[in-house]
Amino acid sequence: MAKYEQLAAQIRQQIESGIWRAGERMPSLRKQTEHSGMSLMTVMHAYQLLESQGWLIAHPRSGYTVADNIQSVTEPEKAAVETAESVDINSFIFDVLQASRKPYMVNFGFAYPDPGLYPRHQVNKSLMHAARNLPVSNALDNLPPGNDTLRTMIAQRYAAKGVNISPDEIVITAGALEALNLSLQAVTRPGDWVVVESPTFYGALQSLERFGLKALSVRTDPKTGIDLDSLERAFQSHPVKACWLMTNHQNPLGFTLTEGKKRRLISLLKKYQVALIEDDVYSELYAGTEQPLPAKAFDTTGNVMLCSSFSKSLVAGYRIGWVAAGKRAMDIQKLQLMSTLTTSVPIQLALVDYLNTRHYERHLKQLRRTLDKRKKTMCQLLSRTLPPSVEIIHSEGGYFVWLILPQHADAMAIYAQALAENITLAPGDMFSPGTQFNHCLRLNTSFELDERHTQAIHQLSRIIQLHIGHSH
Amino acid sequence: MAKYEQLAAQIRQQIESGIWRAGERMPSLRKQTEHSGMSLMTVMHAYQLLESQGWLIAHPRSGYTVADNIQSVTEPEKAAVETAESVDINSFIFDVLQASRKPYMVNFGFAYPDPGLYPRHQVNKSLMHAARNLPVSNALDNLPPGNDTLRTMIAQRYAAKGVNISPDEIVITAGALEALNLSLQAVTRPGDWVVVESPTFYGALQSLERFGLKALSVRTDPKTGIDLDSLERAFQSHPVKACWLMTNHQNPLGFTLTEGKKRRLISLLKKYQVALIEDDVYSELYAGTEQPLPAKAFDTTGNVMLCSSFSKSLVAGYRIGWVAAGKRAMDIQKLQLMSTLTTSVPIQLALVDYLNTRHYERHLKQLRRTLDKRKKTMCQLLSRTLPPSVEIIHSEGGYFVWLILPQHADAMAIYAQALAENITLAPGDMFSPGTQFNHCLRLNTSFELDERHTQAIHQLSRIIQLHIGHSH
């Protein structure tokens, strides 16, 4: 049993023995931390667990009270996901991904857009060109920071949006994930605190765990994004080294920070001298006419590492990403040299060839239109079929919707049953080290709602309804 | 400000205040080291920085003089290279690699064989085929462990040598370096002890540093390899988690462990329950008729992670390697999923296409013959030109020779001077966290001894002679 589970069990006994009575305020997190001698994170997790089990009720900005329906709550035998102690979350994510590989699956749990939307013939043609004209394969020509022309092209695309990034600060990586990992290593040592959103991209949680870092989850509104007052308090209470945030079309919630919020974020980071690892892989997939800028656009300190890739907008499987690393470009090159040496040369050259054809902008326009249309269609179907107690969170842009089910619903159980019916989805548990999203689901909206997918949505709605009913 | 910058600033002030005058010889690196109490590396960096800023002029074979136009020099805003104290070895290796990129360099410091020996037209053709026939780019089809056919082909090549490796334990990686790093992460936690050879591949030292591991260097004979009695004592005295060793054509020394020694190594590892990370990137490059087996061939415990790649034998820059991970295949897949997600799909398919052509064995035969011939020719030239006090260590296979100079010789100074004359080499300092090899050099013997390379060997011999003399 993890520490937070032990603490939760203790508190539950206290409630059962009448020490804390229904409706009564629980000690604040901070007080509980002092009492128990445990870390704030452990106490937080314990409270969240008790909340998810129906023992406590969370009140925004005023802590927790004891629930008055505690008699009717049946404690689940065992939490479906065990967090904190080990790499269980990784195993789970691994299982989810492996399950998605089966060809007959309907992949609402998929993290990429429908691969049918990629211009694969064009891109493969570019790879053929690159292969035909490949210079004597000299790995040294393409050591970090990577191909010069590709870096310049990426910088030019930023410049076209009014974002001033020098090719010199760009390092080409094996996808955005390597960029994010190298950035994290460049600014942290094991034991450091790193702020993540709550919920956050599970890759961030995995990386934090892998490098022995401590996650500080900051309250994040499904529509407006990270709460900057909470963020500032986090900076005041913890020696935070870095924030790992998505500012545009966040995964899994879908929000995009307003420009005002991005500016305030940047000024907070400056004030408290915290580095930003900005995961911006979805920003090309906006709806409407205006591409949201990265927060880095407003930074003057060189303290923002902007990570992105072509994987979500052009081609999956090539593994090409980059980081615009500001003042840490050199550190990141050295780290890359130690970890993967450099990015595949022909793949870099293929991207150069493709970007030279100038098809990319046309493709992106088409992709954005299609994703926007498909998302709207799917949201309509969802709102028609799902019970009214399910909240459908969808923002403009990207290709995810976030479903908030009634508190007692169990996303993991729904996930398991959907999987048994050959439908994948991403349960909320994937996006948090705690249990506070275990009644939420992320769905991919990028697939065409043909008969098979429409049918799957109906199936899924039935499963959800069943589970909401069951738990009463 | 890094130490070398502080030293550079000091020296600049000295020049400004007239301590060192235009045209005057600066103290030698060694003298400056004694005066300043700083490391040779720091002093070298400081001199190089001052040279790049126009304060000093480097003279082949006779150190540095003060520039006479120092009044007109405007100091660049920021040093071109920033090094921190802790990553000095990495910074240095980075500098060496960057220096090697210049086209006019004679690259005796190169870690790859002469790129002209790779069958680039064949391999590029395979990449073109792969690009033409690329399936709908679905990253999920090629999640870790990587392409099924490629893994089977690799297993079949082992089987042909009598090594029994299942495709199921093979994970495709971005080069051997990623394979080694993932293996290391799979069996260690920060603070753990890991055995390395002395001297060892610098990548091992970098990885140990990056993951907060402690290196235990075990005595290694230039001709017969790691001393197994010392290794057993290391196991007895320290809670060693893993060994990172090269059993065939070791870098930098060149030795290959005998089969008897490999068997004893495996039984020691079994007895003390220590994992082996076996770096076997050179084993295809044997001389004679019989390929040496990896130590893994003798393992029955699943505790050996055999890492290799196509980078040294077929193509550099594609970044394709693998690990035959034994019982840790699943752990490594999960780690890869977190770090680079997966290996570039078209590149994997290109390798499958190439291996299907069955050109590989023919190419390897040719490559082995050429490397063997060139090594012998170069060793002959070296033994004719180098002073008799220099010991030339060369084993069968691979493409490195190891020069042991008299103890008082300074490999870093020789490196610096050779670099000034456009010759790279790998100073012994790169291969050890200590200073015990600072009188040794590693040379790449894979280039054809044309006039330019022959000339460079003569130049190098002169530099070495000079330095052996100088230091007396």
- Range among A15-24, B214-223, B374-383 rated most confident: B374-383
Q: Taking CA atoms, what residue in B is nearest to A179?
A: B340
Whole-number pLDDT of residue A433: 80
Report how many Cβ contacts below 8 Å link chain A to chain B: 201
Whole-number pLDDT of residue B51: 80
Alpha helices by DSSP H, listed for A27-119, are 29-36, 40-52, 88-100
Tens of pLDDT along A262-288?
999 999 999 999 999 999 999 999 998
Do A68 and A24 touch, CB atoms closer than 8 A? no
Cβ of A127 within 8 Å of Cβ of B123? The answer is no
Q: Which two tokens stand for residue B455?
A: 């000339």
Position A213 pLDDT exceeds 50: yes
Do A393 and A223 touch, CB atoms closer than 8 A? yes
DSSP code of B289?
S
Cβ of A134 within 8 Å of Cβ of B120? The answer is yes
Whole-number pLDDT of residue A136: 65
Least Cα distance to A276 among A262, A286, A266, A284 occurs for: A266
Rounded to an integer, the average pLDDT of A147-153 is: 93
- The share of chain A scoring above pLDDT 70, in percent, equals 91
Cβ of A342 within 8 Å of Cβ of B317? The answer is yes
Q: How do strand B304-309 and strand B275-279 relate by DSSP bridges?
A: parallel
DSSP code of A118?
S
Q: Measured between beta carbons, which residues in chain A are less than 8 angstroms from residue B319?
A: 174, 340-345
**In the CATH scheme, what architecture does the domain A120-358 have?**
3-Layer(aba) Sandwich (3.40)
Position A77 pLDDT exceeds 50: no
Tens of pLDDT along B248-285?
999 999 999 999 999 999 999 999 999 999 999 999 99
Position B318 pLDDT exceeds 50: yes
Whole-number pLDDT of residue A471: 46
Q: Measured between beta carbons, which residues in chain B are less than 8 angstroms from residue A203?
A: 338
Q: Report the top-level CATH class of A88-116+362-470.
A: alpha beta
- Please state the ipTM of this predicted complex: 0.78
- Asked which of A54-63, A179-188, B216-225 is least confident by mean pLDDT, the reply is A54-63
Whole-number pLDDT of residue B360: 95
Rounded to an integer, the average pLDDT of B392-406 is: 96
Do B282 and B249 touch, CB atoms closer than 8 A? yes
pLDDT band at A350 (very low <50, low <70, confident <90, very high): very high
Task: Identify the sign of the CA torsion A449, A451, A453, A454.
Answer: positive
**Could you say which of 3.40.50.360, 3.40.50.300, 3.20.20.480, 3.90.1150.10 is the CATH number of the domain covering B88-117+362-470?**
3.90.1150.10
Whole-number pLDDT of residue A339: 87
Higher pLDDT, A56 or B154: B154
Whole-number pLDDT of residue B92: 72
Q: Measured between beta carbons, which residues in chain B are less than 8 angstroms from residue A174?
A: 174, 319, 340-341, 344
Rounded to an integer, the average pLDDT of A231-248 is: 95
Cβ of B338 within 8 Å of Cβ of A210? The answer is yes
pLDDT band at B304 (very low <50, low <70, confident <90, very high): very high
Whole-number pLDDT of residue A71: 32
Strand ordering across the sheet containing B275-279:
B170-173, B321-324, B304-309, B275-279, B240-245, B193-198, B214-221, B225-226
Q: Taking CA atoms, what residue in B is nearest to A140?
A: B101
Q: Taking CA atoms, what residue in B is nearest to A141?
A: B101
Q: Measured between beta carbons, which residues in chain B are less than 8 angstroms from residue A87?
A: 334
Distance from CA of B35 to the nearest CA of A (A): 30
Whole-number pLDDT of residue A435: 84
pLDDT band at A80 (very low <50, low <70, confident <90, very high): very low
Position A436 pLDDT exceeds 50: yes
If one looks up domain A3-71 in CATH, what number appears? 1.10.10.10
Whole-number pLDDT of residue A81: 25
Tens of pLDDT along B42-95?
888 888 888 877 778 887 667 888 876 443 232 222 222 222 233 356 677 777
Cα–chain center distance at A178: 15
Whole-number pLDDT of residue B87: 33
pLDDT band at A88 (very low <50, low <70, confident <90, very high): low
Distance from CA of A392 to the nearest CA of B (A): 27
- Exposed, middle or buried, B237 (CB in 10 Å: 0-12/13-18/19+)? exposed
Q: Which of A96, A311, A319 to mutate to test the interface with B (most CBs of B within 10 A)?
A: A319
Cβ of A140 within 8 Å of Cβ of B207? The answer is no
Q: Taking CA atoms, what residue in B is nearest to A94?
A: B334
Distance from CA of A195 to the nearest CA of B (A): 18
Mapping DSSP to helix (H, G, I), strand (E, B) and coil, where does residue B125 land?
helix
Q: Taking CA atoms, what residue in A is nearest to B186?
A: A210
Tens of pLDDT along A51-70?
777 778 877 667 888 876 43
Alpha helices by DSSP H, listed for B386-450, are 411-420
Q: Taking CA atoms, what residue in B is nearest to A147?
A: B317
Position B291 pLDDT exceeds 70: yes
Cβ of B318 within 8 Å of Cβ of A344? The answer is yes
Cβ of A317 within 8 Å of Cβ of B131? The answer is no
Least Cα distance to B184 among B99, B307, B289, B29 occurs for: B307
Do B313 and B342 touch, CB atoms closer than 8 A? no
| Dist. CA B428–CA B440, nearest whole Å | 5
By Cβ distance, the residue of A93, A101, A338 closest to B206 is A338
Domain boundaries, chain B: 3-72, 88-117+362-470, 120-357
| Dist. CA B40–CA B36, nearest whole Å | 10
pLDDT band at B405 (very low <50, low <70, confident <90, very high): very high
Position B411 pLDDT exceeds 50: yes
Q: Which of B344, B345, B349, B367 to mutate to test the interface with A (most CBs of A within 10 A)?
A: B344
Tens of pLDDT along B118-144?
998 899 999 999 988 887 655 556 788
Cβ of A319 within 8 Å of Cβ of B343? The answer is yes
Do A186 and A334 touch, CB atoms closer than 8 A? no
Q: Measured between beta carbons, which residues in chain A are less than 8 angstroms from residue B93?
A: 337
Cβ of B116 within 8 Å of Cβ of A93? The answer is no
Mapping DSSP to helix (H, G, I), strand (E, B) and coil, where does residue A403 land?
strand
Q: Measured between beta carbons, which residues in chain B are less than 8 angstroms from residue A210?
A: 185, 335, 338-339
Cβ of B138 within 8 Å of Cβ of A317? The answer is yes
Position B25 pLDDT exceeds 90: no
- The share of chain B scoring above pLDDT 70, in percent, equals 91
Tens of pLDDT along B162-171?
899 999 999 9
Whole-number pLDDT of residue A19: 67
Position A253 pLDDT exceeds 80: yes
| Dist. CA B427–CA B441, nearest whole Å | 5
Q: Measured between beta carbons, which residues in chain B are less than 8 angstroms from residue A346?
A: 124, 127, 317-318, 346-347, 350
Rounded to an integer, the average pLDDT of B421-438 is: 90
Q: What is B3-72's CATH topology? A: Arc Repressor Mutant, subunit A (1.10.10)
Q: What is B120-357's CATH topology? A: Aspartate Aminotransferase; domain 2 (3.40.640)
- Asked which of A98-107, A376-385, A453-462, B401-410 is least confident by mean pLDDT, the reply is A98-107
Position A223 pLDDT exceeds 50: yes
Distance from CA of B186 to the nearest CA of A (A): 10
Whole-number pLDDT of residue A31: 75
- State chain B's mean pLDDT as an integer: 87
